Amino acid sequence: MQVRAYGTDSSMNPSSPPAFSDLLPGALPERLGGIHPGHHEMLYIAEGKVKLSTNSRHYFIAGPALILIPLDTSHRLDMVSKPYRFAYWELQDDPAASFPSPHECTLWNEMQDKRDRNAADMKMIFERVDALNEVMNADWVRKHPELLQQISLSDIQAIMALIRHAVKSQIPDLPNRPFLKRHSSAAETVEMLVRTMESTYWNDFTLQKLTELSRFNPSYLIRLFKTYKGMTPFQYLNNIRMNAAEKFLQNSDMSIQEIAIITGYQSIHYFSRSFKQKYGVSPIQWRNEHNKDKQLRRP
Confidence (pLDDT) at 238: 94
Give the contacts of 198 (CB within 8 A, at least 6 positions apart). 240
Give the contacts of 47 (CB within 8 A, at least 6 positions apart). 63, 64, 83, 84, 85, 86
| Average pLDDT of the chain, as a whole number | 77
pLDDT at 22 > cutoff 50: no
Torsion sign, CA atoms 149, 155, 157, 163: negative
Q: For residues 72 and 156, which has the higher predicted lDDT (pLDDT)? A: 156
* pLDDT tens digits for range 32-85: 467 666 788 888 988 888 888 776 577 788 888 999 988 777 777 787 777 888
Within 108-245, strands assigned E span none
Could you tell me what percentage of the chain is helix, strand and coil, using 3-state DSSP and rounding each to the nearest 5? 50, 20, 30
pLDDT at 137 > cutoff 80: no
pLDDT at 260 > cutoff 70: yes
Give the contacts of 125 (CB within 8 A, at least 6 positions apart). 66, 159, 162, 163, 166
